[in-house]
Structure 1
Amino acid sequence: MNTNTQTTRLYHSTLSPFCRKVRLVLAEKKIEVELVEEKYWENPPDLKRRNPAGKLPVLRHRGHMLAESQAIVEYLDEVVADPALMPRQPLDRHEVRRLCAWFDDKFNSEVTQPIMNERVWKKITRSGYPDSRAVKDGLRAIKEHIDYLTTLLEARRWLAGNAISLADFTAAAHFSCLDYISDVDWDRSEAVRDWYATIKSRPAFRSVLADQVPGIHPAPHYAELDFG
């Protein structure tokens, strides 16, 4: 057996919510993975060879190169059946996919991207100073999203229903990036805070909570399961 082609390897960026989503699902499925940090902003020559779109994450699994975070995690849920992270009923599956899209599209564009771009990526890539207006817009938008999640959690144990799903890991990936830099008002909703504390306490989160980004220190409560 050629171990080089069989090793599961994730090309990722530590504070990317899309990469974190894949990391969390890999860990939940107990799939051992080698993490390879990529400075995608430097346009590494091999990135487009692995993914013609030139984006992260890229997962090498069973000798295949897989791209796009949602496609990757659904693939993983199909090839490693236990634990199941997609429900069986079509309407329930739709709700999981709807919420995954909510976070990867709407939440990302309104909250994660503007805040992380200004407070993290400009510093890492040395591409200018933070735009305080963009950060304020993101902080204002996150309140509306937290309020929406509160309404969901009033009727459900998890975001998409009564079982944990890809929707929870997608949402947690985004929140964890923002929580690293202490940009989530956890006091706004006890329901959302309890939901995040519960998923944060899962073994799958251990690697993410151990992350350290050079030059950017995590919030004091970041790795505390009870928020310190």
Structure 2
Amino acid sequence: AAGTGGQNGTLSRERSGGHAVESFTDQNVRTAEQLAENVTATDPNRLAYLSPALAKDARLSGTPAVSVRAAFGGGRSPYLTALLVDYGTDARAYGGVSYGPTPVCYGQGVPGDTGCARLAEHVTVTAPYKIITRGWIDVRNRHSASRTDLLREGRFYDFDFDLQPTDYVVKAGHRIGVVLISTDRDFTLRLPAGTGVSVEPGDSSVELPLVGGRSALG
């Protein structure tokens, strides 16, 4: 398991138990991509847990879920964000398209529609990691979206929430990572920085929708 101050821990197949506590401090400037990027270095604004390198390709198809035992204190951010990350240098879809300069016409145009379009190509980028999917919880609404329950500062609670559904193949030699942060700059409100989040990794877990079950990890 990781130590305090944003060191990296191991993503293992079984819960380790125990009550070791690891901590990070929320910030509201860097994006989730920036916080997930360099897991070879420590980072005080996140906790990261990585699997061993995969022996073979593993397909994730469905809805990942996390259970995190954590305590909040010393700030205003109520968010807990989990990132599921593919670590391994590869060419991946970048999430956009590029359009060629020459239009292709399919028939006679009409007013407002020329009958022509430009061919589109998916954009790829070679990078050492990619966020596969992510999920969020407002810890004040841990029981229901319609019910607010304030937290007692420094007290540990169990937070269970889903990540966004996905269908993704993690290639052999890559590592699966779970990164915990608070503010997700692109998807949550950006409240003042400084909230402290303490996590008990031994009593936390992630459930992955692996096609073929556990044996798919080799």
Shorter-chain TM band:
under 0.3
Q: Which has the higher contact order (CA 8 A, sep 6+)?
A: 2
- TM-score of the two chains, using structure 2 as the length reference: 0.21
Pair member with larger Rg: 2
Greater share of residues in strand: 2
- TM-score of the two chains, using structure 1 as the length reference: 0.21
